């Protein structure tokens, strides 16, 4: 039977068919759905971990115990999981262990455009890169065979287009893999220097074997059409090249992107007059070819930035440029905004109104940086808002302590904000941290987290009490506010900034999109009272606009949160 599947759904199907039993991940677009789909299989235990490092370590522990295991993350999540990955490369596996990393060329939902292939090279682990959903399923199953055959964790590299596009996938039965025996072996699993040194030798020997395997692996395949143009590529770029060039070129499609074959690439280049390397982001394949002394054309033609497409390949190789429709009018852009009724809006309005410097973090609340709120000064990585606030205040002193805050979501705080708060308490800055508790992991699509009281499957789970946790790490001042109450929120911000000790404000109200949240009736405008002052527009609510000089509220978007009534001095906005 065949089924049309997202790449991420096909990945989960591959986990099921490969006999995987343990899955631990942290949600991150574009990887999130892999674990959500995996959780639907009764034969797989799946969980959301507090962060990617914990997820990887959980999968590693399950592998050592003898189970086939998996952890998934986006590309920046691999930064967090790199520590255990590099060492587990030395240890090797017991049951097969696969890690998915989803890169995001074009930065559709990410803070950088890093190329995860560098991690595979640095950690000395094999990496596979599928180009459509059917290959995703096949490559996942192959990855477990490689993992157990070569005693290594394996990375499967996804990207936004493969993860979120659909193609037909043939379904097969699950292959059961009984739990392997666990045998105590400190020389393999205890990576202190005396044991790690000989394991490094094993890793280098393994790499040599993997190079030999890559020469004849069905994961790497040649499609011969003519000898004039050869294209070496992998992943989604193969689809772009094939669609743009068709039979005008031959292709060496590399399914294994670490380590690379040597003789296979040399032989392909020798048969073709001109060879192009088409790869998004960094010049990993091109550099390998040039180290072999091969004359290939790559980044001087295609560049290092952003996504490619069929149109890009056709333009670069055939000189064919698509026509682009243009408009004589200056059409305004429609940037992403916080939803109508978003609980973060009231808080950011108060911060903006009082000209507070804001150390920001990763989440849907990062949109607080956008106009008209303009209420965020920095965003670096998960959890950095808290640590960076401490450093900022240490550098600038008392004046900064009284005018600077950190904002961080509840899930992000559990991910990597706690240690930053410990640092504030331990090393004593009068820093104010605001935890935006919307009762869910919002940006990646409403996943549960350790504060929500439910696990991945929605079953009851232990819930971290944020107030007690903050007290436990040494913060004495902890206050909870409702961000729909602007007066209360603003007063709390001013009071905590003035306090002579560190403090935490918990801005608590559920995400407006949660199904259990019951909204008020939409608001409307009394045009006779509206003076056209446009104060309501400063909230940045997508339900509010101005027509003919008067405020207008779109009743299809408005959820009746009421914060606009608090900023409207003429009291023109009414129930």
Number of H helices, E strands in the chain: 22, 23
Q: Which residue has the tokens 């004039």?
A: 228
Query: What average pLDDT is seen over the chain?
Result: 96
Give per-residue pLDDT as tens, 252-278. 999 999 999 999 999 999 999 999 999
How would residue 328 be classed by pLDDT, with cut points 50, 70 and 90?
A: confident
* 343-508 and 220-318 share a CATH fold: yes
pLDDT (0 to 100) of residue 324: 82
Give per-residue pLDDT as tens, 340-356. 999 999 999 999 999 99
Q: Is 546 helix (H, G, I), strand (E, B) or coil?
A: strand
H/E stretch holding 73 reads strand 69-74
- 365-371 LR contacts (CB < 8 Å, sep 24+): 365/338, 365/407, 365/409, 365/436, 365/442, 366/443, 367/336, 367/337, 367/338, 368/338, 368/344, 368/407, 370/335, 370/336, 370/337, 370/540, 371/540
How would residue 247 be classed by pLDDT, with cut points 50, 70 and 90?
A: very high
pLDDT (0 to 100) of residue 275: 98
CA–CA gap between residue 223 and residue 231 (Å, rounded): 10
Give per-residue pLDDT as tens, 271-314. 999 999 999 999 999 999 999 999 999 999 999 999 999 999 99
pLDDT at 182 over 90: yes
pLDDT (0 to 100) of residue 331: 80
Which phi and psi (to 5°) does residue 330 adopt?
A: -85, 90
Give per-residue pLDDT as tens, 71-130. 999 999 999 999 999 999 999 999 999 999 999 999 999 999 999 999 999 999 999 999
pLDDT (0 to 100) of residue 480: 98
Average pLDDT over residues 210-223: 98
Helices (H), 248-383: 263-270, 284-291, 299-302, 310-318, 343-353
CA–CA gap between residue 377 and residue 553 (Å, rounded): 30
CA–CA gap between residue 431 and residue 400 (Å, rounded): 9
Tell me, what DSSP letter sits at residue 414?
I
ω before 372 within 30° of 0 (cis)? yes
CA–CA gap between residue 184 and residue 432 (Å, rounded): 48
CA–CA gap between residue 264 and residue 252 (Å, rounded): 9
Contact call for residues 517 and 443 (beta carbons, < 8 A): no
Give per-residue pLDDT as tens, 377-433. 999 999 999 999 999 999 999 999 999 999 999 999 999 999 999 999 999 999 999
H/E stretch holding 498 reads helix 486-498
ω before 49 within 30° of 0 (cis)? no
CATH code assigned to 2-216: 3.40.50.970
Q: Phi/psi zone of residue 272: left (φ > 0), alpha (ψ -120 to 50 degrees), beta?
A: beta
Domain ranges, ordered by start, for the chain: 2-216, 220-318, 343-508, 524-574
How would residue 325 be classed by pLDDT, with cut points 50, 70 and 90?
A: confident
**CA distances to 309, 332, 515 from 325, in Å:** 18, 16, 40
**CA distances to 251, 334, 354, 442, 537 from 371, in Å:** 47, 12, 16, 21, 10
pLDDT at 532 over 90: yes
Is CATH 3.30.70.20 the classification given to domain 524-574? yes
Residue 113: name the closest of 327, 272, 307 by CA: 307
Surface-to-core class of residue 274, CB atoms within 10 Å of its CB (0-12 exposed, 13-18 middle, 19+ buried):
middle
How would residue 198 be classed by pLDDT, with cut points 50, 70 and 90?
A: very high
CA–CA gap between residue 483 and residue 148 (Å, rounded): 52
Instruction: Report residue 159 CA to chain centroid gap.
Output: 11
**CA distances to 345, 359, 490, 540 from 169, in Å:** 43, 45, 54, 43
Give per-residue pLDDT as tens, 137-171. 999 999 999 999 999 999 999 999 999 999 999 99
CA–CA gap between residue 262 and residue 291 (Å, rounded): 10
Share of the chain above pLDDT 90, in %: 96
H/E stretch holding 507 reads strand 503-508
pLDDT (0 to 100) of residue 205: 98
CATH code assigned to 343-508: 3.40.50.970
Q: Which CATH class name applies to 220-318? A: alpha beta
Surface-to-core class of residue 82, CB atoms within 10 Å of its CB (0-12 exposed, 13-18 middle, 19+ buried):
middle
pLDDT at 326 over 90: no
pLDDT at 528 over 90: yes
Give per-residue pLDDT as tens, 452-502. 999 999 999 999 999 999 999 999 999 999 999 999 999 999 999 999 999
Q: Is 128 helix (H, G, I), strand (E, B) or coil?
A: strand
Give per-residue pLDDT as tens, 2-23. 999 999 999 999 999 999 999 9
Residue 319 CB neighbours (<10 A): 7
């Amino acid at each position: 039977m065949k089924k049309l599947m997202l790449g991420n759904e096909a990945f989960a199907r591959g986990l099921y068919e490969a006999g995987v039993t343990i899955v631990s991940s942290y949600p991150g677009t574009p990887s999130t759905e892999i674990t959500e789909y995996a959780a639907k299989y009764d034969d797989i235990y799946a969980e959301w971990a507090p962060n990617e490092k914990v997820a990887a370590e959980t999968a590693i522990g399950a592998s050592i115990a003898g189970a086939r295991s998996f952890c998934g993350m986006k590309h920046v999540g691999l930064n967090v999981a790199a520590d255990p990955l590099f060492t587990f490369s030395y240890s090797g596996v017991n049951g097969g262990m696969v890690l998915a990393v989803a890169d995001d060329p074009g930065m559709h939902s990410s803070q950088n455009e890093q190329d995860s292939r560098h991690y595979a090279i640095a950690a000395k682990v094999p990496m596979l890169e599928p180009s459509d959903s059917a290959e995703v399923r096949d490559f996942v199953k192959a990855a477990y065979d490689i993992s157990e055959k070569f005693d290594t964790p394996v990375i499967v590299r996804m990207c936004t287009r493969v993860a979120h596009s659909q193609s037909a996938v043939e379904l097969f039965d699950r292959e059961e893999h009984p739990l392997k025996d666990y045998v105590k072996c400190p020389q393999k699993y205890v990576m202190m220097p005396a044991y790690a040194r000989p394991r490094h030798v094993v890793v280098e020997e393994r790499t040599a074997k993997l190079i030999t395997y890559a020469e004849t692996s069905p994961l790497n395949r040649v499609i011969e059409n003519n000898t004039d143009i050869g294209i070496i590529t992998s992943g989604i770029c193969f689809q772009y090249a094939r669609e743009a060039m068709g039979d005008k070129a031959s292709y060496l499609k590399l399914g294994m992107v670490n380590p690379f074959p040597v003789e296979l690439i040399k032989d392909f280049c020798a048969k073709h007059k001109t060879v192009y390397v088409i790869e998004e982001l960094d010049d990993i394949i091109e550099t390998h070819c040039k180290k072999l002394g091969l004359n290939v054309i790559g980044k001087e033609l295609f560049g290092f930035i952003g996504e490619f497409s069929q149109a890009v390949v056709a333009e670069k190789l055939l000189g064919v440029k698509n026509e682009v429709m243009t408009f004589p009018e200056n059409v305004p852009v429609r940037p992403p905004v916080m939803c109508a009724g978003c609980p973060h809006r009231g808080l950011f309005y108060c911060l903006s109104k009082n000209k507070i410097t804001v150390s920001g973090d990763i989440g849907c609340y990062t949109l607080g940086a956008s106009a008209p709120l303009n209420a965020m000064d920095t965003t670096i990585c998960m959890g950095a808002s808290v640590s960076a606030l401490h450093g900022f205040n240490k550098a600038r002193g008392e004046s900064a302590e009284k005018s600077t805050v950190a904002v961080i979501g509840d899930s992000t705080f559990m991910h990597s904000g706690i240690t930053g708060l410990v640092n504030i308490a331990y090393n004593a800055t009068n820093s104010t941290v605001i935890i935006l508790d919307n009762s869910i992991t919002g940006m990646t699509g409403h996943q549960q987290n350790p504060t929500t009281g439910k696990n991945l499957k929605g079953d009851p789970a232990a819930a971290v009490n944020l107030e007690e946790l903050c007290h436990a790490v040494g913060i004495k001042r902890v206050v909870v506010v409702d961000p729909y109450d602007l007066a209360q929120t603003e007063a709390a911000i001013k009071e905590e900034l003035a306090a002579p000790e560190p403090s935490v404000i918990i801005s608590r109200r559920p995400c407006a999109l949660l199904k259990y949240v019951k909204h008020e009736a939409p608001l409307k405008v009394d045009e006779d009272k509206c003076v056209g002052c446009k104060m309501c527009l400063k909230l940045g609510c997508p339900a509010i606009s101005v027509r003919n000089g008067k405020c207008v509220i779109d009743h299809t978007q408005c959820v009746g949160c009421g914060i606009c009534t608090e900023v409207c001095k003429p009291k023109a906005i009414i129930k």
